[in-house]
Structure 1
Amino acid sequence: MYTKGRVTELGEFLKVCRAQLVPRTVGLPESGAPRRVPGLRREEVARLVGISTHAYTRLEQGRAPVPTTVIATLARVLHLDDAQRDRLFELAAAGAREPRRRPVQKVHAQLRRILDELSTTPALVIGRHLDILAWNPLAAALLTDFDKVPAKRRNYARLMFTDPAFRELCLDWRTNARTCVTQLRLEAARHPGDPGLAALVGELSVADADFRKWWAGRQMTGLRMGTKRVRHPIVGDLTLDWDSLTCTADPTQKLLIATAAPGAPSHDGLLFLASWTADPGQPPEDAAA
């Protein structure tokens, strides 16, 4: 049963919590302009949580039940201690409504077949929230051993912001990372209140100051695929052209592929890595012969 009084009390609690924070506390830049209200603005909290300002305003005004995933993200974003977090969940319990979760996404069969045919081209399939749905052996050899990443944490943005080895691999890390943020923001605009996306944004906002700043910012980098530079421990520096193909049957799935011009050093590096991947027991020195 939805209890308006309790949710209104929840809104007052959230107002007090955000009033106690300043932008720099959560990694946001200080504009220097006077603020009409103390602490964080509604739109700043909404961006950090991964929901629209309208949705957050309805939450504070007691005009909408609150999904538990959003409450958990709010607790992280607002830097609540254990007692405050317990109080937040207590206030939200009366009006909490479990959101409809979209079914677990599976790679489309046609994309799976394409992956299996690509032996000298790194390729992977990205789904909702930049989840990594499938990959071919060369993509794993180039980027990371995805099999060793738990399925529930197999997400491109999560790797980009929380995996030190993945960060070191990307020579243009800031550009690539900001592109991830842009893609997540576009998805948040298409699916406001998506609990899975809200949880991911909350996790990355707490884990990484750059993500926090870029997510809350207004600038959006372009999504046009282009050249990315990779520093690989076996084949050295590679300059690769990345592009994406959208699945007609499921537009939320995209096939990402990396190529290099034939005869270029990066192309030779991919061929070397492909041959080594085909026979992982062979030492790299022999594979290069």
Structure 2
Amino acid sequence: MNPRSDTSELSSFLRARRGQLTAQECGLPASGSPRRVPGLRREEVALLASISVDYYTRLEQGRVQASASVLVPLARALRLDEDQQKYLYELAGKADARPRRRKSGQQVRPAVERLLEQLGQTPALVLGKRLDVLAWNPAAAALITDFAGLPAARRNYVRLMFTDPAFRAMHLDWTHDARDTVAALRMAAATDPADPELARLVGELSVQDPDFRVWWAEQRVLGAGSGTKRYRHPLVGDLTLDCDTWDSPDGSGQRLMVLTADPGGPSHDALRILASWTADHPGSRAAATDGDSR
């Protein structure tokens, strides 16, 4: 259970939300008497939520704590969106037991796809909730691998790290990078631990690689942040790049990963060479379009 339970904040939120609604948009018949204040009456909220007027009044006045069973019909009556429902449960100090809708795919927003394209010679990719590689720019394909040439089922950063010999060989600090990747997967998976595709991925890699099995059991987690990666590229040689990742603000669990180098240094020059190489290889794809990469 969430330890937070603030009846005064909850009552303020309920009153504010009630005042934002109209009887018409909630499907209630118009009343003949004028309303002294805008919004729904307490009696109307109680009717819509199928609870007693007395209970709702005490709830709104902060004289009683909301029970878990009343939050679902109350959220429906007040027409709360996803963020507002989450906030309601937080204020009530209750665990959010609402059934989760499983999304059929992991779609990258058009604005993020445009950002990838505009980064030019800066390698960047979008990782999904299981660290699936959902989108990339040509510079990332030139540096890391030809993602477009891989089956959708293999476009997963963790799977490539542990099962693709060329991907593994290019990481000069493979043990460090691979262990961090496992920790990032565990962090990303926390939002949906019952995901069957996650269980399949973890099971597969646990059988195939003893290092993955040990590191997964460590329960180490790693969120978005920054670090350094050292690569050995077959075309331009060794590179030392800053790696920064950002969590998407839309709650999708996606992360943007960007690799940069100090201007004027050998790694920066190497990225410029790769950028010129991608100009002659237009087959690199800016985004995956196969649906839900697994």
Structure 2 residue 135 is matched with structure 1 residue 120? no
- CA offset at residue 179 of structure 1? 1.1
Aligned pairs for 1:18-29 (under 5 A) are none
1:201: which partner in 2? Answer: 202
Aligned pairs for 1:94-243 (under 5 A) are 101-220=102-221, 224-243=225-244
Summarize deviations over 1:104-163 as a string: whole Å, max 9, x none: 111111110001111110010111100000000110000000011111221000000000
SS at match of 1:129: coil
- CA offset at residue 224 of structure 1? 3.5
Q: Is the 8 A contact 1:143 1:166 kept in 2?
A: yes
Counterparts of 1:178 and 1:112, CA distance in 2 = 28
Pair member with larger Rg: 2
- CA offset at residue 248 of structure 1? 2.1
Counterparts of 1:168 and 1:228, CA distance in 2 = 13
- CA offset at residue 102 of structure 1? 2.9
Counterparts of 2:115 and 2:190, CA distance in 1 = 30
Q: Is the 8 A contact 1:111 1:247 kept in 2?
A: no
2:32: which partner in 1? Answer: none
Q: Which moved more, 1:196-205 or 1:183-192?
A: 183-192
Name the amino acid aligned to 1:157: V
Counterparts of 1:189 and 1:182, CA distance in 2 = 11
Counterparts of 2:215 and 2:229, CA distance in 1 = 20
Q: Is the 8 A contact 2:184 2:223 kept in 1?
A: no
Q: Is the 8 A contact 1:138 1:277 kept in 2?
A: yes
RMSD over aligned Cα, in angstroms?
Answer: 2.0
Q: Is the 8 A contact 2:246 2:256 kept in 1?
A: yes
Q: 1:109 to 1:250 in 2, by over 3 A?
A: farther
How does the TM-score come out when normalised to structure 2? 0.59
Unpaired runs of 5+ in structure 1?
1-98, 282-289
Counterparts of 1:222 and 1:191, CA distance in 2 = 15
Counterparts of 1:221 and 1:134, CA distance in 2 = 21
Summarize deviations over 1:145-197 as a string: whole Å, max 9, x none: 00111112210000000000000011111111111111222233332211111
Q: 1:108 to 1:157 in 2, by over 3 A?
A: same
Q: Is the 8 A contact 2:187 2:221 kept in 1?
A: no
2:266: which partner in 1? Answer: 265
Summarize deviations over 1:212-262 as a string: whole Å, max 9, x none: 111112455676321100000010000000101232234411111110011
Name the amino acid aligned to 1:192: P
Counterparts of 2:253 and 2:212, CA distance in 1 = 23
Name the amino acid aligned to 1:227: T
Q: Is the 8 A contact 1:101 1:195 kept in 2?
A: no
SS at match of 1:128: coil
Q: 1:266 to 1:183 in 2, by over 3 A?
A: same
Counterparts of 2:152 and 2:220, CA distance in 1 = 31
Q: 1:130 to 1:218 in 2, by over 3 A?
A: closer
Counterparts of 2:234 and 2:145, CA distance in 1 = 11
Q: Is the 8 A contact 2:246 2:257 kept in 1?
A: yes
SS at match of 1:261: coil
1:9: which partner in 2? Answer: none
Counterparts of 1:205 and 1:102, CA distance in 2 = 26
